[in-house]
Structure 1
Amino acid sequence: MFRRDLLALGALAALAPAAAARAQAGAGTGGSGGTIRTHALSLLGEPALPRDFPHWPWVNPDAPKGGEIALTALGSFDSFNPFILRGTAAVGLTNLYDRLTRTSADEAATDYGHLAETIELSADRLTIAYELREGARWHDGRPITAADVVFTFETLRRHGRPFYRAYWADVAEVRADGERRVVYRLRTAENRELPQIIGQMYVLPKHWWEGRDFARPSLEVPLGSGPYRIERFEPGRTVVYRRVEDYWARDLNTMRGTANFDRIRYEYFRDNTVALEAFKAGQIDFRTENVAKDWATAYDFPAVRRGLVKKEEIRHEIPTGMQAFVVNLRRPLFQDARVRRALIEVFDFEWMNANLFYGAYTRTASYFSNSELASRGLPEGREREILERFRGRVPDRLFTEEYRLPVTDGSGNNRAGLRRALGLMREAGWTVRERRLVNAQGQPFEFEILLSSPSFERVALPYKDALERLGMAVQVRTVDPAQYQKRIENFDYDMTVDVIPQGLSPGNEQRDYFTCAKAQEPGSQNVAGICDPVIDELVEMVIAAPDRAELIARTRALDRVLLWHDYVVPQWHIQSFRIAYWDKFGRPARGPRYDLALDSWWIERGRERAIEEGRRAGPDRN
């Protein structure tokens, strides 16, 4: 979903006091009055790369430019403004813009100057300044200025998606201090990731947007500064991005060896089944596969057997967050925690993994899965100290019991789970009459599971059957992506599937996921509608964590409280990218630890010709 894609554009961490001194040494420059002048910000120590690093370690700096890559998009689009709620934005639009910094995909929490040549952080960490590179310019040739940065920040906070306001809540003031210097004044020194978050903002051209309504979706091609511009499009069906030959940052160390394709073409399809067939037919060059059944069964076609199409799994170290069935707590039906636990008890992951997913997945048991931030066992040490201050306001069992999800034998006969669930429902005031769960007023327990893709029906329908054996009346409804986005933004659903992504250094984005302030704000990412003062306080503690050890303890405490409230029905995760592609690409010898980095691939002309010849030869006869 696009709202999650936007969040991923920001947010790892910022300069800790101990790391700041090391960053100063790495930068090779000092400052006055304790001000740190550096080329990069990092939470976990000094940046791995010096100021004069030539290129990212995982790229081929001499990668050839040229060719076209065709990719898949689902649904439709009616806007080229991805920063607002209204409209459905086209995919790939961030290719048009630059940021003050770029995140290293090979380090856990480090951002390097991109638009910004130098970053200054005051000793009290209440002021952050960015000095822009002199040669940075928009596609129309005009220079990128500090006024553009100020305009972007103020416009996004005023008219942009709601998460910007949560993300930047601790910024007190931003001002242009000359043509190429922008200064942010912060409300608190405890929000340690905020300087880095600010640097990850995509910068927009003030002179182009003046006189235009930023809050209105539009298909007018916008002005950018990035490695690509929009070459052509067909509303709702196709959008093509063309590489900018004279891109101002083409030789910058943060760009060398990337943006290698002359054209990036996105073709839109109504559903994933049609998109897969388009890939098989050679209309699409590359796809990531998210459906385990398709990965196991749908890639035995002639082009694969002839070696024209490659299929790979690439391991990564990315935290996998939480994917789950999420109930809407704004509905009275789900406000009783016993009801929510009953929904968990009847979900048979083991049967699904064996029969639907070919054993491909691991059950998700943490909001911070696949990372050291996940809670485990019983709370101990500093984590327990943190939780003790909330005793009486959190479930008592979290101090004495490890949170566990139910486990079945995978046979599909989950009688034990159904018995536990029925007992919980009875405790919550629901009884079975004529095989239907009803409350004291005789009203049935009924709700709808809202989906955006037919491919997920194969998961939702068995779950629906299990819930109906309990006596619930459940409907599964699949709508097109645009309608789904609007319903999610307006909290118009009972239950849906959501993905809550997490990074290695959680912080400001947790406000948008879990706090009371966002529970009633349309368009926020608090899909469940979570509102609990303890969670609000824990989120602020995570944001203000003074060092890595304290961040881990506070995040584990937050994770544990979220889990014990049973807000979601956790699903599964996988620790690899599953990719398939027509074998016309070259790529670096290794990829980064935290990204697929498709932008570092390139077209191999010889392979491309072989693919074209293979397609003309037709399928094999076996």
Structure 2
Amino acid sequence: MPSWAAPALGMGYEPKYGASFRNFDYVNPDAPKGGSLTLSASGSFDKLNPFTLKGTPAVGMGYSSNGFVFAEYGLIFDSLMTHSEDEPFSNYGLLAEDIDLAPDRLSVTFRLNPKARFSDGTPVLASDVKYSFDTLMSKQAAPTFRSYWVDIKEAVVVGERTIRFDFRRRNSELHMIIGQLPVFSRAWGKGKPFDQLTTEPPIASGPYVMDKVDFGKSISYRRRPDYWAVDLPVRKGMFNFGEVSYQYFKDKLGEEESLKAGALDALEEASLNAWIRRYKGRRFDSGELVKEEISHRRFTGMQGLVMNLRQPRFADIRVRRALALAFDFDWLNQHLFHNRRARTESYFQNSDDLMARPEVSAEETALMDRLKDKALYLANVRGELPRPAATGDTADGLRRNLVQAQALFREAGWTFRDGALRNGAGDAFVINLDIADRASEAVLAPYARNLAKLGVTLQYRLRDASLIKKKQDEFDFDMAINILGGSSSPGNELYDDLGSKSAAEKGSQNLSGISDPVVDDIIEEIVDSPDRKTLAAGARLLDRYLLHQHYVVPMYYGKQYFVAHKQRLRHPAAALPQRLLAGSWLLTMWWIDPK
């Protein structure tokens, strides 16, 4: 083995956990195994293949065609490496025992663990890894993968359990992100075209296999008694339930009632209003159901109302600024959220070194100097850092914002006449917005009232989540609730999130359709960053530039997770890691008290 090969790597820093670590600090390594966990899901599903664009995959599989939800959140697929939740970006060996980055940084080699086995008992070999990569990079898979790994030229089988990935160019994180490759067997589907695999259960190496499937209604997973990685440090204390099942509901209210009836074991609530008003009853009074508020400071990204920039009316920055001025967060926080929400101000919210600061740093200035051909576009970012419009919950504050919005609309060619805001052609300004959850109605109703004062009509409609996804994949929408950014170590995923090429790629993560050469160039600088300090400077500049473009109506984020669960469920005593979602924490690290 080459002297520079390692079982773990950090993105520009030394990993926290050494080669002899026993388990991650945030898990209970002695958590008991067994029992069943019943959770809920919204909408419906029509396929068991999470890697293709068409259709909606079952929840619990860990990946989606609209972007990565990595192996820690999935039950079926193991990846080459796995990351810890209490570091910005460190990879530790899972399927791969060692990672070997070439001295010229133009290739990386993984040596597979000889114990690794698929659910059918066959060994995980380098040929399976190559098959998985080649398949995901083909047109039969969703475009997210081709965008994410665009700089990887090919996968080369070096030996039975050794695989090398060759790069098209040097890229500071390619050797890290290819470690996230989900691996599946060549036997999955028995030669059937990959994009036609819909009902065939995957053959993979993860801790669970599919047990029962009722398409659109429910799915259950059974823990593998022969799971090969059960004693690995990266899996100690994790995936503790003997069975995990999901029941599908058409709306959140149905999920709440099912929890209160005892049919669900746990439910994470996103609506603070619902949490306070509706999570009560006999089972809560008796202690059978427990309400937990779990504080966090998780990287949240830019949660907001994104506008479809492919429509000419949203291409005008004055229109985007005007629409943002009508969103009254201060009123919402006092009247709906009991002052327990915080305003989203950054595409890297809650990251100390990635969020843009009021002052432009020397590192950002140096980066701007390297982008001299974009000087005209970058000139305004040296000015005051834009902050979301505030009202202080006063009528005067909202009135001032609406007067400013009215002036911006007028400058952009929109005037109020015949009962509506209209352009020169007489077209009324109407925005359609589809929502999958009734909880959004309480937030959107005040926004719609404020927009109506400007002559803008906001029509929000409750629709099935799968239909909303399909429409958004086709870019057939006006405005959508979405989260942009938020990675603790931004890099290649930015091509798909914000890059110009992805703006025209149906099914991409670039829902807004951002197509901006300045964004493209800053992304290149971030991807090429040699260390964390340089990467952070690029992220701050990107954040600063995006905020100046007003692509999103910033919304808010929660400072706590709200989880209701049966009393018999237990979780680690350690504080919730900054990166971890409550849902994945519950799924992977909780257990059932055997007493």
Task: Report the counterpart of residue 71 of structure 2 in structure 1.
Answer: none
In the alignment, which of 156, 165, 182 is matched to residue 175 of structure 1? 156
Q: Is 1:405–2:388 an aligned residue pair?
A: yes
Contact 2:48 2:198 survives alignment (8 Å): yes
Residue 91 to residue 541, structure 1, CA distance change in 2 (3 Å) = same
Task: Report the counterpart of residue 200 of structure 2 in structure 1.
Answer: 220
Residue 162 to residue 564, structure 1, CA distance change in 2 (3 Å) = same
Task: Report the counterpart of residue 620 of structure 1 in structure 2.
Answer: none
Q: After superposition, where does 1:174-573 map in structure 2 within 5 Å? A: 174-189=155-170, 191-372=171-352, 373-388=354-369, 389=371, 392-394=375-377, 396-411=379-394, 414-573=398-557
**Deviating 4+ runs (over 6 angstroms):** none
The SS at the match of 2:522 is helix
Task: Report the counterpart of residue 127 of structure 2 in structure 1.
Answer: 147
Task: Report the counterpart of residue 14 of structure 1 in structure 2.
Answer: none
Cα distance between partner residues in 2 of 1:316 and 1:447: 34
Cα distance between partner residues in 1 of 2:99 and 2:518: 36
Contact 2:56 2:466 survives alignment (8 Å): yes
Q: Is 1:68–2:36 an aligned residue pair?
A: yes
Cα distance between partner residues in 2 of 1:217 and 1:423: 54
| 1:109-160, Cα deviation, whole Å (9 max, x unpaired) | 1111011111111111111001111111111111110000000001001122
Contact 2:32 2:594 survives alignment (8 Å): no
Contact 1:429 1:440 survives alignment (8 Å): yes
Cα distance between partner residues in 2 of 1:297 and 1:221: 41
Amino acid at match of 1:175: V
The SS at the match of 1:233 is strand
Cα distance between partner residues in 1 of 2:254 and 2:395: 31
Task: Give 1:164 shift.
Answer: 0.6
Moved more, 198-207 or 395-404: 395-404
The SS at the match of 1:323 is strand
Cα distance between partner residues in 1 of 2:299 and 2:470: 28
Task: Give 1:59 shift.
Answer: 2.3
Task: Report the counterpart of residue 22 of structure 1 in structure 2.
Answer: none
Q: After superposition, where does 1:43-54 map in structure 2 within 5 Å? A: 43-54=11-22
Contact 2:306 2:553 survives alignment (8 Å): yes
| 1:390-449, Cα deviation, whole Å (9 max, x unpaired) | 564326443222212221031456211110001001111111113321122222222212
Task: Give 1:331 shift.
Answer: 0.7
Task: Report the counterpart of residue 70 of structure 2 in structure 1.
Answer: none
Cα distance between partner residues in 1 of 2:184 and 2:283: 43
Task: Give 1:44 shift.
Answer: 4.3
Moved more, 385-394 or 541-550: 385-394
The SS at the match of 2:53 is coil
The SS at the match of 1:37 is coil
The SS at the match of 2:426 is coil
Contact 1:320 1:575 survives alignment (8 Å): no
Cα distance between partner residues in 2 of 1:58 and 1:431: 56
Contact 1:105 1:592 survives alignment (8 Å): no
Contact 1:87 1:217 survives alignment (8 Å): no
In the alignment, which of 116, 119, 122 is matched to residue 96 of structure 2? 116
The SS at the match of 1:497 is strand
TM-score of the aligned structures, taking structure 2 as reference length: 0.93
Amino acid at match of 2:45: F
Residue 412 to residue 355, structure 1, CA distance change in 2 (3 Å) = farther
Contact 1:103 1:112 survives alignment (8 Å): yes
Cα distance between partner residues in 1 of 2:526 and 2:514: 17
Q: Is 1:79–2:60 an aligned residue pair?
A: no
The SS at the match of 2:122 is coil
In the alignment, which of 87, 107, 112 is matched to residue 87 of structure 2? 107
Task: Give 1:208 shift.
Answer: 2.7
Q: Is 1:164–2:145 an aligned residue pair?
A: yes
Contact 1:393 1:534 survives alignment (8 Å): no
Cα distance between partner residues in 1 of 2:376 and 2:246: 50
TM-score of the aligned structures, taking structure 1 as reference length: 0.89
| 1:232-255, Cα deviation, whole Å (9 max, x unpaired) | 121111111001111111122221
Q: Is 1:601–2:584 an aligned residue pair?
A: no
Amino acid at match of 2:409: M
Amino acid at match of 1:457: E
The SS at the match of 2:38 is strand
The SS at the match of 1:425 is helix
Cα distance between partner residues in 2 of 1:173 and 1:30: 22
Task: Give 1:574 shift.
Answer: 2.1
| 1:13-42, Cα deviation, whole Å (9 max, x unpaired) | xxxxxxxxxxxxxxxx752xxxx2100011
The SS at the match of 1:38 is coil
The SS at the match of 2:194 is coil
Amino acid at match of 2:314: F
Cα distance between partner residues in 2 of 1:396 and 1:448: 34
Cα distance between partner residues in 1 of 2:45 and 2:394: 43
Task: Give 1:552 shift.
Answer: 1.3
Residue 444 to residue 156, structure 1, CA distance change in 2 (3 Å) = same
Q: Unpaired segments of 5 or more residues in structure 1?
A: 1-28, 607-622
Residue 151 to residue 333, structure 1, CA distance change in 2 (3 Å) = same
Amino acid at match of 1:92: G
| 1:365-398, Cα deviation, whole Å (9 max, x unpaired) | 1111111211121323121332354564326443
Same amino acid, percent of matched pairs: 39
Cα distance between partner residues in 1 of 2:119 and 2:47: 20
Cα distance between partner residues in 1 of 2:197 and 2:325: 43
Task: Give 1:58 shift.
Answer: 2.6
Q: Unpaired segments of 5 or more residues in structure 2?
A: 62-73
Moved more, 557-566 or 384-393: 384-393
| 1:178-216, Cα deviation, whole Å (9 max, x unpaired) | 110000111222x21111111111101013344112112
The SS at the match of 1:460 is helix
Q: CA RMSD in A?
A: 1.6
Cα distance between partner residues in 2 of 1:99 and 1:580: 31
Cα distance between partner residues in 2 of 1:89 and 1:402: 40
Residue 55 to residue 400, structure 1, CA distance change in 2 (3 Å) = closer
Cα distance between partner residues in 2 of 1:412 and 1:113: 56
Task: Report the counterpart of residue 619 of structure 1 in structure 2.
Answer: none
Residue 449 to residue 586, structure 1, CA distance change in 2 (3 Å) = closer
Amino acid at match of 2:321: R
Amino acid at match of 2:163: V
| 1:224-274, Cα deviation, whole Å (9 max, x unpaired) | 221111111211111110011111111222212211110001010001111
Contact 1:63 1:602 survives alignment (8 Å): yes
